[in-house]
Amino acid sequence: MKVILLEDVKSLGKKGQLVEVNAGYARNFILPKKLGVEATNKNINDLKLQKAHEDKVAAEQLAAAKVLAEELKDKSVELKMKVGEGGRTFGAISTKEIAAAAKEQLGYDIDKKKISVNEAIKSLGVHNVKIKLHPKVTAELKVKVIEK
């Protein structure tokens, strides 16, 4: 019996896959637990339409991420850091502070988890941080750290 999976099933397949299973397995396990539906012509066409829609949405998200990466390329945010005697800084700039500064100064809502800092920002000056906007798109943002 052919079944279209509605959820990932361990050792059988991923969501949206068309798989061949024993009729008893489908009748007693997959269909009652709403893990899949029988592969009728209507359900197969619905699956094709759904995949086409998902591909279209993914392409739109990729294009939007590329546009945002281009906009961020030339922009920078400014953060203030407390400095003691001899130019020693106190603490470090966190990704949370960078995300808050980007929202406040540039108007971009960037998730702090997507910001990647190679080395902790513990000094004054200009630092480049990477922002993962999409699995295929990574942008760079300049962070200017000045004295408080």
User: How do the pLDDT tens digits run along the chain, 148 residues long?
Assistant: 999 999 999 889 999 899 999 999 999 999 999 999 999 999 999 999 999 999 999 999 999 999 988 888 888 899 988 888 877 888 888 899 999 998 998 888 888 999 998 888 888 889 999 999 899 989 998 999 888 8
pLDDT score at 29: 93
pLDDT score at 7: 93
Token output for 19: 């798989």
71-147 has the same fold as 2-65: no
Q: How far is CA 7 from the centre of its chain?
A: 21
Span 2-65: which CATH code?
3.40.5.10
71-147: CATH architecture: Roll (3.10)
Token output for 142: 């300049």
pLDDT score at 4: 94
pLDDT score at 73: 85
Calculate the alpha carbon distances from 109 to 47, 75, 105 in Å.
34, 14, 11
pLDDT score at 74: 86
76 Cβ neighbours under 8 A, 6+ residues apart:
126, 141, 142, 143, 144
pLDDT score at 57: 96
Please give the model's pTM, rounded to 2 decimal places: 0.69
